[in-house]
């Protein structure tokens, strides 16, 4: 039934006007009378106890309302269960202001509430703390002997541990004429979305048990997650709380769990019966989840002809003392390459740090960055071009799960990417290309990311004015959700785009899961398509009942929805306008709520993944060791592309992240203090405009009926996954140096 008027077209982002005029409102930007401001105080030690916390000086200032600490905080939910959000790893979630114990450096320990932001900030600087310090451990390398298997729990459903070994790696590796082994070390990274975490709680008086009503503007990747957390922790019935988040100034995973400003603002609003806003500082953006530091070992064996026979990939990642954070790091080699002898292992080490948190392409970019460097090394040893080597070791099935791929146009990615890049002109010899004192290198890598889908609900309403309003409590963190959902709805019901609005980010809407892991287009898209289809059936039923209906003896399959009309397929003159259908409904809008569900029976017979082939050019200053990425071509096979314009932007963003991860991003921890030292945007380097040159995106045609009814695979992660490895391989080609520690800073090249 679906027309293709808008799907697949490069429509301008529908939220664009709000964003370029400053009208788009983010969590800290909702004003309300008598708003109080909160400022958080964080611990300066990594482990120990608060002996004394002095708040008198702060409280002595006129306009300071209260200082909350573990000593005077209200009674809160008792059980861990109440603090578990939808992305909580197994363990016991961190609870702000729970007790005197310090579990990691920069742990929030007090909240100052004052009449103005400036006053709260100043008062916070007057809060002094005496600690009883204990020895802490924050160094992964020094503690790797304590590595252990992570606990399993709900999270293991989405992040299964690596499968059991297959074949005999050790024997096959020992017998392999070509071998490579390497250890790969990645630094901690922080998400650092441009918008700092903020929550504004608008309080309305009430006589109900929870003391009033709470409208919560929260920076989150899922309003449903925030409301569950706030309702449970503060024992507020759902009817008295609503979470709203129309715009999110970047997430990248940081908003997958409720952050502590939500807790702080809710606690203060509830206790003081006032509206409260709490905004974190950029420094405090380094005081919650991060991409964990990892140490990986990859060993590959191949025949003399370059056929891979043995694969070993192990990873050790850090976690906190209270939760077992895991990610899928080591499985991808087993999915991409055919060796019969495979051993994969993933372990974690508990340190005195906060729990890590999914960060764009969690695990995937980590594992692929190591694996694809090792594959490059093996291809070099075999004397085979890296693209040819990958084609030689190509697999149409997923050997790890022993399932076919639902679709896999990776071969075409290699072909189109190589052609666009001009790969054939590459001289395989390292240090063979130069421009003055700059060495030039060309490198490439493969990317892969799961195409998953969850259940979501959506509502579609044909309004009395004949326009369509569709909604779902999902998020648009810059991904284009507003735009693509509107396109899907408009096409499904044959309506012009201007007559369709899509709303999101409000717990009054039907629930959707957190936005992450590249599953929103598939998950919410399916819900939107389903609800529009079901609304179409409802509208058709109403149309049949209209007096003199042309459809009296016609079935639903014989009509189409086009141009705001229901039309008979064989005779377009036999039509009923949607407007007259609503009119005939006694002046009432026609509404439908539906659930979009993954077709598990169909899906589980296949491995479903997006793929990419990334080609990068770098220049390396021979004297200074500075690396510049002059060109990247990324050829992506990710099913159907709903909107090539927003889709391209997502891939471009991923490529920029790849440059950052490969060359710049590193949260440097001073192990003497167990503390991130470069907690600012001046010292935590992300790619800026001058770091980004020619970026080229190719979407390879890929048809997939299995992944979901829309045939989409999601784009949030696949743009990033292969980029750091392609850059590292280009650095090798330029310099002859194999750098296995990210980021590749100049000191490692000199």
Applying CB under 6 A, the site for ligand FES has a residue count of 3
Contact 218, 194 (CB under 8 A): no
Q: Which residue of 167, 211, 250, 430 would you call a contact of ligand FES, by CB under 6 A?
A: 250
Residue 147: CB minimum distance to another protein, A:
30
Considering the complex, state which of residue 634 and residue 649 has its C-beta at the smaller distance from ligand FES: 649
Helix (H) or strand (E) holding 349: strand 341-350
Burial degree of 400 (CB within 10 A; 0-12, 13-18, 19+) = buried
**DSSP, res 374:** H
Whole-angstrom Cα distance, residue 106 to residue 282?
12
Block residue for tokens 């200082």: 67
Give the nearer residue to another protein in terms of CB position, either 54 or 595. 54
Query: Would you say 174 or 194 has its CB closer to ligand FES?
Result: 194
User: Which of residues 409 and 515 has its CB atom nearest to another protein in the complex?
Assistant: 515
Nearer to ligand FES, 504 or 575 (CB): 504
* Binding partner selected for residue 56 from another protein, ligand FES, none, CB under the kind-specific 5 to 8 Å limit: another protein
Nearest distance, CB of residue 685 and another protein, angstroms: 10
x-or-dash pattern for ligand FES, window 277-316, by CB under 6 A?
Answer: ----------------------------------------
Residue 337 interface partner, choices ligand FES, another protein, none, CB cut-off 5-8 Å depending on type? none
Restricting to residues 187-226, which ones interact with ligand FES according to CB under 6 A?
A: 194
User: Measured between alpha carbons, how far is 514 from 217 in angstroms, rounded to an integer?
Assistant: 16
CA distance 220 to 200: 12
Residue nearest to ligand FES (CB): 194
Smallest separation, CB 611 to another protein (Å): 21
User: Taking the alpha carbons of 416, 420, 421, 423 in that order, is the dihedral positive or negative?
Assistant: positive
Q: Comparing C-alpha atoms, which of 617, 638, 639, 620 is closest to residue 696?
A: 617
* Binding partner at 536 among another protein, ligand FES, none, C-beta below 5 to 8 Å by kind: none
Please select the residue that binds ligand FES; options are 258, 306, 478, 719, rule is CB under 6 A.
478
316-342 burial code (b ≥16 CB/10 A, e <16): bbbbbbbbbbbbbbbbbbbbbbbbebb
Cβ atoms of residues 740 and 185 within 8 Å: yes
- Contact between 251 and ligand FES (CB under 6 A)? no
Q: Which CB, 194 or 746, lies closer to ligand FES?
A: 194
Least distance from C-beta 672 to ligand FES, angstroms?
29
Say how many CA atoms lie within 13 Å of 244 toward its Cβ: 18
Which lies closer to another protein via its Cβ, residue 10 or residue 206?
10
- Residue 427 binds which one of another protein, ligand FES, none, with CB within 5 to 8 A depending on kind? none
- Are 104 and 354 in contact by the 8 Å Cβ rule? The answer is yes
Cα–Cα distance, 255 to 244 (Å, whole number): 14
The residue assigned the tokens 């039509």 is: 575
Residue 213's Cα: distance from chain center in Å?
31
Question: Phi/psi of residue 414, each to 5°?
Answer: -60, -45
Least distance between ligand FES and beta carbon 681 (Å)? 7
The site partner of 252 among ligand FES, another protein, none (C-beta below 5 to 8 Å per kind) is another protein
- Least separation in angstroms between CB 192 and another protein: 6
Between 91 and 478, CB nearer to ligand FES: 478
Active site residue 118: no
Contact assessment for residue 609 and residue 335, using Cβ atoms and an 8 Å cutoff = yes
Tell me 149's DSSP state.
P
Nearest to 246 by CA among 474, 460, 35, 458: 474
Rounded Cα–Cα distance for residues 692 and 705 (Å): 36
Binding-site partner at residue 699 among another protein, ligand FES, none, CB < 5 to 8 Å by type: none
Closest to ligand FES by CB, 191 vs 346, is 191
Provide the minimum distance between the beta carbon of 649 and ligand FES in the complex, in angstroms, as a whole number. 9
H or E stretch at 710: none
State yes or no: residue 716 binds ligand FES (CB under 6 A): no
Q: Which of 313, 334, 311, 336 is nearest to 395 (CA)?
A: 336
Least distance between ligand FES and beta carbon 653 (Å) = 8
Strands 500-504, 468-472: pairing kind = parallel
What CA–CA distance (Å, rounded) separates 278 from 284? 12
Q: Are 314 and 144 in contact (CB under 8 A)?
A: no
At residue 589, the 3 state secondary structure works out as coil
317 binds ligand FES (CB under 6 A): no
- Of residues 356-395, those binding ligand FES (CB under 6 A): none
**Binds 21: which of ligand FES, another protein, none (CB < 5-8 Å by kind):** another protein
* Partner that binds at residue 131, options ligand FES, another protein, none, CB closer than 5 to 8 Å by kind: another protein
Q: Which residue in the list 189, 195, 533, 717 is annotated as catalytic? A: 717
Inter-residue contact 617 to 727 (CB < 8 Å)? no
Partner whose binding site includes residue 44, from ligand FES, another protein, none (CB under 5 to 8 Å by kind): another protein
Look at the block and give the residue holding tokens 């729970």: 98
Q: How far is the CB of 116 from another protein (least distance, A)?
A: 7
By CB under 6 A, is residue 668 in contact with ligand FES?
Answer: no
- What amino acid positions are annotated as catalytic residues? 717
Interacting residues with ligand FES (CB under 6 A): 194, 250, 478
């Amino acid at each position: 039934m679906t027309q293709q008027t808008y799907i697949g077209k490069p429509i301008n982002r529908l939220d664009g006007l709000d964003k370029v005029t400053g009208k788009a409102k983010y969590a800290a930007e909702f004003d309300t009378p008598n708003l109080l401001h909160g400022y958080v105080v964080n611990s300066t030690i990594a482990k120990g106890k608060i002996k004394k916390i002095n708040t008198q000086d702060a409280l002595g200032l006129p306009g300071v309302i209260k200082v909350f600490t573990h000593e005077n905080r209200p009674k809160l939910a008792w059980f861990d269960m109440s603090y578990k959000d939808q992305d909580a790893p197994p363990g016991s979630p961190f609870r702000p202001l729970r007790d005197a114990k310090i579990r990691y450096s920069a742990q929030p320990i007090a909240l100052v509430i004052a009449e103005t932001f400036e006053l709260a900030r100043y008062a916070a600087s007057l809060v002094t703390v005496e600690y009883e310090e204990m020895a802490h451990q924050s160094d992964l390398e020094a503690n790797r002997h304590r590595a252990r298997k992570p606990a399993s729990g709900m999270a293991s459903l989405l992040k299964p541990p690596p499968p059991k070994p297959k074949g005999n790696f050790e024997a096959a590796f020992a017998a392999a004429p070509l071998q490579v082994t390497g250890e790969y070390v990645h630094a901690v990274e922080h998400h650092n979305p441009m918008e700092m975490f903020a929550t504004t709680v608008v309080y309305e008086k009430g006589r109900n048990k929870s003391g009033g009503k709470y409208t919560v503007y929260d920076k989150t990747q899922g309003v449903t997650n925030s409301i569950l957390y706030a309702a449970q922790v503060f024992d507020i019935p759902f009817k008295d709380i609503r979470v709203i988040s129309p715009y999110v100034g970047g997430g990248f995973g940081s908003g997958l769990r409720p952050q502590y400003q939500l807790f702080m603002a809710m606690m203060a609003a509830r206790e003081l019966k006032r509206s409260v806003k709490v905004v974190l500082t950029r420094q405090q953006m380094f005081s919650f989840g991060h991409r964990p530091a990892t140490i990986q070992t990859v060993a590959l064996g191949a025949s003399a002809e370059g056929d891979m026979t043995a694969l070993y990939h192990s990873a050790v990642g850090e976690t906190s003392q209270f939760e077992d954070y895991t990610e899928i790091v080591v499985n991808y080699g087993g999915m991409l390459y055919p060796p019969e002898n495979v051993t994969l292992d993933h372990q974690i080490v508990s340190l005195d740090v906060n729990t890590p948190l999914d960060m764009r392409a969690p695990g995937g970019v980590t594992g692929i960055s190591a694996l694809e460097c090792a594959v490059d090394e093996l291809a070099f040893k075999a004397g085979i071009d890296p693209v040819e080597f990958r084609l030689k070791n190509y697999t149409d099935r997923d050997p790890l799960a022993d399932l076919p791929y639902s679709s896999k146009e990776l071969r075409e990615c290699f072909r189109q990417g190589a052609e666009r890049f001009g790969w054939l002109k590459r001289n395989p010899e390292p240090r063979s290309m130069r421009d003055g004192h700059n060495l030039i290198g060309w490198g490439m890598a493969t990317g892969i990311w799961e195409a998953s889908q969850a259940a979501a609900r959506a509502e579609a309403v044909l309004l009395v004015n004949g326009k369509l309003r569709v909604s779902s409590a999902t998020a648009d963190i810059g991904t284009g959700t507003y735009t693509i959902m509107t396109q899907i709805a408009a096409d499904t019901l044959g309506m012009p785009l201007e007559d369709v609005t899509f709303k999101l980010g409000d717990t009054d809407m039907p629930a959707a899961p957190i936005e992450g892991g590249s599953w929103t287009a598939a998950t919410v898209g399916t819900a939107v398509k389903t609800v529009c289809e079901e609304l179409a059936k409802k509208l058709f039923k109403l149309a049949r009942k209209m007096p003199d209906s042309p459809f009296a003896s016609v079935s639903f399959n014989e009509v189409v929805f086009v141009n705001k009309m229901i039309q008979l397929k064989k005779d377009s003159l036999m039509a009923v306008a949607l407007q007259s259908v609503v009119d005939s409904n006694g002046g009432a809008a026609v509404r439908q709520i539906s659930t979009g569900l993954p077709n598990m029976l169909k899906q589980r017979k296949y491995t479903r993944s997006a793929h990419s082939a990334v080609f990068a050019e770098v220049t390396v200053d021979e004297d200074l060791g500075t690396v510049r990425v002059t060109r990247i071509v990324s050829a992506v096979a990710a099913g159907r592309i709903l909107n090539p314009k927003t889709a391209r932007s997502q891939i471009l963003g991923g490529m920029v992240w790849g440059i950052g991860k490969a060359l710049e991003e590193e949260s440097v921890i001073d192990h003497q203090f167990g503390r991130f030292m470069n907690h600012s945007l001046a010292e935590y380097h992300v790619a800026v405009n001058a770091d980004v040159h020619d970026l080229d995106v190719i979407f390879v045609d890929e048809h997939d009926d299995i992944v979901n009814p829309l045939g989409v695979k999601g784009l949030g992660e696949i743009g990033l996954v292969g980029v750091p490895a392609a850059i590292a391989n280009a650095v090798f080609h330029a310099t002859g140096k194999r750098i296995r520690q990210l980021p590749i800073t100049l000191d490692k090249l000199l």
